[in-house]
């Protein structure tokens, strides 16, 4: 979590403190002016000075209004700035944890961290802590002034506030418990929705719409009850704040009337006290909600700290990658039960097919070789450098991936194509688009390369998505290219692109496949068995003389 008292936030807190002091001074001046004005109402000779007092009172009111405006803007700037820093740190931390990190929540609940929890922290800073600082200073100034001007009225008002505040601390525990329960149900609902909406085809295929509707309804009903319970606790806190404000004004008015009757004070003193109470009343209401914001933020902070407590498996990445041919060396790699003691070398320009049954470890080994996963033991070295120590920029320039596990992203087609390479010349982009068979797709799209794509490229066919992934990897110009079962999305055009890639790509290509026909495009094959590298030989030898199974006829070839 970023420190609260650091950098620009120190100045923001100091400015808020200054706004609180100035507002307290303006309130004191207003009270003194009102007191003096009312005490002179009965004096005809003071008519001229009354206009001066009224002008001063108007100036004090305008000053308070201006300070409130500045306070509101500065408070929001404080909250938004802190949450912005926290959001970017949290996102970077999750990326550092990697795709197989054991997180304390599901994807849906993770999204709640970035929405509800960060909102709760922003509200605590902007509407809770900032207002506690400013309103606390203003309230102390107002009560202190009242104690000096009218000691009896000030003491009674302070006693009334303390009497109302005591139950608020007891309600805070109830509010925090309600917030935790609400937060838990909200995370469950988000996780269920994220899972079921992502697998909508499965739900429809097995006709389970009514079952899933009931499941969502059950969690939604519990969420509703938790939200109502939290609203009761929050409403009670707000009622205490409102009630305390009204009670304070009533007490001051009653005691003030009694003191006027016995001659202990003047009408101007009572009216001045009422002005102070009137200025203080909205502050009391705001302070009543501070407790609510703090409890919500406490629960949110706990959840976010659980994520930061997850330690990344990666070592600190500080190494640059020297120029080299692209030789990859695997040294006794182990990764859980999936990869067991793999040692091998990938020579520059190699074409290697990873063969094996489902669960043999092909995809895991690809991700270890590409630095996405960090081995439990052993090392992967690229031209002599441990890739776990490479800077992200160096790894991005050296390694590229394509396949179903590396989907397209939201954004335009151009954004997706250039995701791994950054800016390149339009002529080079056009050349790769032509090479990968995407020219027809680009011509068909309404805005060409700048056409926005749906989530994961859902508005493209499987073959088109694969061609875009291959073009994205090709444009990155890596030393090594990793393909994860590309045959799952091969149509005729994608197959031609892949074959052309094998011929023209200057670096090494390693690909996991179940297709004997694709395996024969390689010059070497590795057979994996239960995480172990069982054999290294030519594809024909490891395929044991099996006839390559033909690829399914592409849909566009079916008349």
Q: What is the pLDDT of residue 165?
A: 63
As a whole number, mean pLDDT of residues 155-177 equals 71
User: Could you tell me the pLDDT band of residue 209, with boundaries at 50, 70 and 90?
Assistant: confident
Query: Over 319-336, what HEC string results?
Result: ECCCCCCCCEEEEEEEEC
Q: What is the pLDDT of residue 7?
A: 80
Q: What is the pLDDT of residue 345?
A: 93
Whole-number Å distance between alpha carbons of 514 and 546: 13
Q: What is the pLDDT of residue 283?
A: 67
Q: Fold for domain 8-308?
A: ABC transporter transmembrane region fold (1.20.1560)
Non-local (6+) Cβ contacts of 331 within 8 A are 343, 378, 379, 380, 381
Answer with the residue of higher pLDDT: 550 or 466. Answer: 466
Structure tokens at 517: 């026909």
Q: In this structure, what is the dihedral angle of CA atoms 166, 170, 171, 177, given to the nearest 10 degrees?
A: 160
pTM score of the predicted model: 0.74
User: Could you tell me the pLDDT band of residue 347, with boundaries at 50, 70 and 90?
Assistant: very high
Lowest average pLDDT, out of 172-186, 219-233, 439-453, goes to 172-186
Q: Angle, to 10 degrees, between the axis of helix 130-149 and the axis of helix 47-97?
A: 150
User: Could you tell me the pLDDT band of residue 559, with boundaries at 50, 70 and 90?
Assistant: very low
Answer with the residue of higher pLDDT: 482 or 546. Answer: 482
pLDDT tops 80 at residue 43: no
Whole-number Å distance between alpha carbons of 290 and 123: 9
As a whole number, mean pLDDT of residues 181-193 equals 82
Q: What is the pLDDT of residue 550?
A: 43
Domain residue limits, the chain: 8-308, 328-557
As a whole number, mean pLDDT of residues 434-448 equals 89
Same topology, domains 8-308 and 328-557? Answer is no
pLDDT tops 90 at residue 480: yes
CATH superfamily assigned to domain 328-557: P-loop containing nucleotide triphosphate hydrolases (3.40.50.300)
User: Could you tell me the pLDDT band of residue 500, with boundaries at 50, 70 and 90?
Assistant: confident
Whole-number Å distance between alpha carbons of 117 and 115: 6
pLDDT tops 50 at residue 547: no
Q: Starting at the edge strand that comes first in sequence, how are the strands of the sheet with 385-386 ordered? A: 339-346, 328-335, 377-382, 385-386
Q: What is the pLDDT of residue 160?
A: 67
Per cent of the chain over pLDDT 90 is 22
Q: What is the pLDDT of residue 231?
A: 83
Does residue 461 sit in helix, strand or coil? Answer: coil
Report residue 115: phi and psi, to 5°: -110, -75
Mean pLDDT of the chain: 81
Q: What is the pLDDT of residue 44?
A: 55
Q: Angle, to 10 degrees, between the axis of helix 426-435 and the axis of helix 492-504?
A: 120
- For residues 384 and 554, the answer to whether their CB atoms sit within 8 Å is no
- For 322, half-sphere exposure in the C-beta direction (CA atoms, 13 angstrom radius) is 7
Q: What is the pLDDT of residue 166?
A: 66
As a whole number, mean pLDDT of residues 202-207 equals 76
Q: Which residue, chain included where needed, has tokens 């929705």?
A: 193
Lowest average pLDDT, out of 247-251, 357-361, 500-504, goes to 247-251
Neighbour count for residue 482 (Cβ, 10 Å)? 26
Q: What are the pLDDT digits (tens) for 373-424? A: 889 899 999 998 888 888 888 888 889 999 888 888 888 999 999 998 878 8
């Amino acid at each position: 979590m970023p420190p609260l008292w650091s950098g620009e936030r120190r100045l923001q807190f100091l400015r808020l403190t200054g706004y609180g002091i100035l507002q307290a001074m303006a309130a004191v001046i207003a009270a003194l002016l009102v007191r003096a004005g009312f005490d002179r109402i009965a004096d005809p000779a003071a008519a001229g000075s009354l206009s001066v007092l009224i002008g001063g009172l108007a100036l004090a009111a305008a000053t308070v209004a201006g300070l409130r405006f500045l306070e509101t803007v500065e408070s929001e700037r404080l909250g938004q700035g802190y949450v912005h820093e926290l959001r970017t740190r949290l996102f970077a931390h999750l990326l550092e944890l990697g795709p197989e990190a054991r997180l304390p929540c599901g994807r849906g609940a993770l999204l709640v961290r970035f929405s509800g929890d960060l909102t709760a922290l922003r509200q605590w800073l902007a509407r809770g802590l900032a207002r506690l600082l400013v309103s606390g200073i203003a309230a102390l100034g107002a009560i202190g002034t009242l104690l000096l001007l009218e000691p009896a009225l000030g003491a009674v008002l302070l006693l009334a506030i303390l009497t109302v505040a005591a139950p608020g601390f007891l309600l805070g525990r109830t509010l925090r418990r309600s917030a935790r329960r609400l937060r838990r149900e909200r995370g469950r609902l988000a996780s269920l929705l994220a899972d079921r909406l992502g697998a909508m085809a499965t739900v429809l295929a097995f006709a389970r719409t009514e079952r899933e509707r009931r499941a969502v309804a059950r969690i939604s009903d519990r969420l509703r009850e938790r939200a109502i319970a939290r609203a009761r606790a929050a409403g009670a806190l707000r009622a205490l704040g409102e009630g305390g404000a009204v009670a304070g004004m009533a007490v001051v008015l009653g005691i003030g009337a009694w003191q006027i009757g016995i001659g202990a004070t003047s009408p101007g003193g009572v009216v001045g006290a009422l002005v102070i109470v009137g200025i203080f009343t909205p502050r009391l209401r705001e302070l009543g909600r501070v407790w609510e914001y703090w409890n919500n933020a406490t629960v949110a902070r706990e959840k976010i700290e659980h994520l930061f407590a997850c330690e990344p498996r990666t070592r600190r990445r500080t190494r640059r990658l020297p120029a080299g041919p692209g030789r990859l060396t695997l040294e006794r790699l182990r990764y859980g039960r999936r990869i067991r003691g793999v040692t091998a070398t990938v020579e520059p320009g190699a074409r290697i097919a990873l063969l094996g049954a489902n669960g043999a470890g092909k995809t895991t080994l690809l991700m270890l070789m590409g630095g996405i996963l960090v081995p439990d033991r052993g090392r992967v070295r690229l031209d002599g450098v441990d890739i776990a120590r490479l800077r992200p920029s160096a790894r991005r320039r050296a390694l590229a991936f394509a396949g179903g596990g590396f989907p397209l992203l939201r954004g335009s087609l151009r954004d997706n194509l250039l995701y791994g390479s950054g800016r390149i010349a339009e002529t080079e982009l056009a050349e790769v688009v032509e090479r990968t068979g995407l020219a027809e797709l680009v011509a068909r799209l309404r805005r060409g390369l700048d056409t926005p794509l749906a989530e994961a490229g859902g508005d493209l066919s499987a073959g088109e998505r694969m061609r875009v992934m291959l073009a994205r990897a090709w444009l990155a110009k890596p030393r090594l290219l990793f393909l994860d079962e590309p045959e799952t999305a091969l149509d005729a055009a994608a197959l031609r692109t892949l074959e052309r890639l094998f011929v023209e790509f200057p670096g090494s290509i390693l690909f996991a496949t179940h297709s004997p026909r694709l395996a024969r495009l390689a010059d070497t094959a590795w057979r994996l068995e239960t995480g172990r590298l069982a054999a290294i030989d030519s594809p024909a030898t490891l395929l044991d003389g099996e006839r390559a199974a033909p690829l399914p006829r592409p849909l566009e070839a079916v008349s």
